[in-house]
Amino acid sequence: MRFEFATAGRIIFGRGSLGELRGALRDMGTRRVLVVHGANAERANPLLEMAREGGIECMRFSVPGEPTTSIVEEGVRLARGAECDGVIGFGGGSAIDAAKAIASLAANPGELLDYLEVVGHGRQLTKASLPWIAIPTTAGAGTEVTRNAVIISTENRVKASLRSPLLLARLAIVDPELTRDLPPAITAATGLDALTQLIEPYVCNRANPMTDGVCLEGMRRVARSLRRAFENGAADDAAREDMALAALFGGLALANAGLGAVHGFAAPIGGMFPRAPHGAVCAALLPEVMRVNLRALRAHDPDSAALRRYDEVARILTGDDKALADDGAKWVADLCAALDIPKLGFHGITGADIPLLVENGLRASSMKPNPVVLTPGELAEILQAAI
Ligand SMILES: [Zn+2]
């Protein structure tokens, strides 16, 4: 056994923990920070006020959708030009990924494309990022504790990553109260992304005992709380807390184990259909990937430990000690239906897109840790069923 585990320098979790920001900024010794937030600028006002009360100069930068290469380049110009000495990412996965990339590139020589995988030169980042703080306002992506930032190249219609241990946040503040007002559709999509990011690392071929522990605990919390957060999220603080923790655990797991075919497809789909929310795409794919993975494992590798792991997933999700792997896949499919998750066709994906998505999916880094190697035919079958 050999594994490593790397995460944010410090994690503060709890209701109201946003209030710890002022002290954290003081400890970091920053004077001028770039606050990267989502489309709704007002939501960041309390945070800006808090920082300013602490004597810190704040500049804001809005990232309205998933970060593109040009948005990140603009943010880097702003941070360099204003000589910011810190960055805060406040929002969903998109704002936090943008903050992560900006904090890093502002401190490294050259430009984004020098370092970006796939569409850029993929050079290694060499310098530590500007100290940066991640504060998620959704419960899904877990990107506050991951060491990659996903960026869309609109020109090439692909998603590519900046990847380095140097990208890790100095501090992650996970405050479930920030997710209280999320609308049900976003709660559903982001929550199912979190669930996917707990199941895929648990059954993948790079799982380790540390990520196993967080995956199992995270799945328990999603099982008991995602429906409740969807139905009554504004009042059910306990469900919001469970989901915030589950999302954080998914981030810890995916960064230190790996993912699988759901995310292997989510990357090329996100590049070709940038308006399709990542979580909704993952949710539509998850039950189909579980079904085809199980069939392929039984056919090619019947003694695989992954099959026993899928049984364990089923027992946790259903709460039934006698449940078997297929019951887990069915439970996920039922949950997607209850949470009104649309099929992939809703986002404009059609059968004509399948060959290119299969080709690009086969090359995606997330496809490699899938517990079984899927054939192009099996991959096409997954997409067909999810459309
Ligand atoms: Zn995801």
Q: Report pLDDT digits (tens) over 243-276.
A: 999 999 999 999 999 999 999 999 999 999 988 9
DSSP SS3 for 111: coil
> 29: CA distance to ligand 1 center in Å?
33
pLDDT digits (tens, 9 = 90+) for 293-318: 999 999 999 999 999 999 999 999 99
Alpha-carbon distance 312 to 269, whole Å? 30
Q: How remote is the CA of residue 140 from the centroid of ligand 1, in Å?
A: 7
User: CB under 8 Å, gap of 24 or more: what pairs does 106-114 form?
Assistant: 106/76, 106/79, 106/80, 106/130, 111/73, 111/76, 112/69, 112/72, 112/73, 112/76, 112/151, 112/162, 113/69
Query: How far away, in angstroms, is 210 Cα from ligand 1 center?
Result: 20
Q: Is 29 left (phi over 0), alpha (psi -120 to 50) or beta?
A: left
Average pLDDT over residues 227-241: 97
CA distances (Å), 274 to each of 7, 153, 158, 264, 278, in order?
Answer: 28, 10, 9, 16, 9
115-138: pLDDT as tens digits: 999 889 999 999 999 999 999 999
**Could you report the per-residue pLDDT of 316-367, keeping only the tens digit for each?**
999 999 999 999 999 999 999 999 999 999 999 999 999 999 999 999 999 9
**What is the CA(288)–ligand 1 centre distance, in A?**
16
**Distance in Å, CA 23 to ligand 1 centroid:** 31
Return residues with CB closer than 5 A to ligand 1 (ion).
193
Q: How far is the CA of 193 from the centre of ligand 1 (A)?
A: 5
Whole-number mean pLDDT of the chain?
A: 96
As a whole number, mean pLDDT of residues 139-148 equals: 96
Centre of ligand 1 to C-alpha 248, Å, is 12
Residue 373 has a pLDDT of: 97
Cα 197 to middle of ligand 1, angstroms: 6
Distances (CA, A) of 374 to 146, 291, 300, 301: 26, 12, 10, 12
The partner residues of 62 in beta bridges, in order of sequence, read 37
Q: What are phi and psi of 162, to 5 degrees?
A: -90, 135
pLDDT tens track for 216-233 = 999 999 999 999 999 999
Residue 236 has pLDDT above 90, yes or no: yes
Structure-block tokens of residue 145: 């504790």
Q: Which whole number is the average pLDDT over 74-87? A: 97
Residue 1 has pLDDT above 90, yes or no: no
Residue 292 has pLDDT above 90, yes or no: yes
How far, in Å, is the centroid of ligand 1 from the Cα of 279?
6
Cα–Cα distance between 47 and 35 in angstroms, integer?
9
Distance from the alpha carbon of residue 263 to the mean position of ligand 1, in angstroms: 6
pLDDT value at residue 157: 86
Give the Å distance between the CA of 106 and the centre of ligand 1.
26
List beta partners, residue 87: 34, 132
The alpha carbon of 27 and the centre of ligand 1 are apart by a number of angstroms equal to 32
57 secondary structure, DSSP code? E
Confidence at residue 156, expressed as pLDDT on a 0 to 100 scale:
86
Position 201 pLDDT exceeds 90 = yes
Q: What is the pLDDT of residue 8?
A: 97
Ligand 1 centre from 64 Cα, in Å?
Answer: 19
Query: How far away, in angstroms, is 80 Cα from ligand 1 center?
Result: 30
Cα 287 to middle of ligand 1, angstroms: 15
High-pLDDT (> 70) share of the chain, %: 100
* Distance from residue 249's CA to the centre of ligand 1 (Å): 12
User: For the segment 166-196, what is each residue's pLDDT rounded down to a tens digit?
Assistant: 999 999 999 999 999 999 999 999 999 999 9
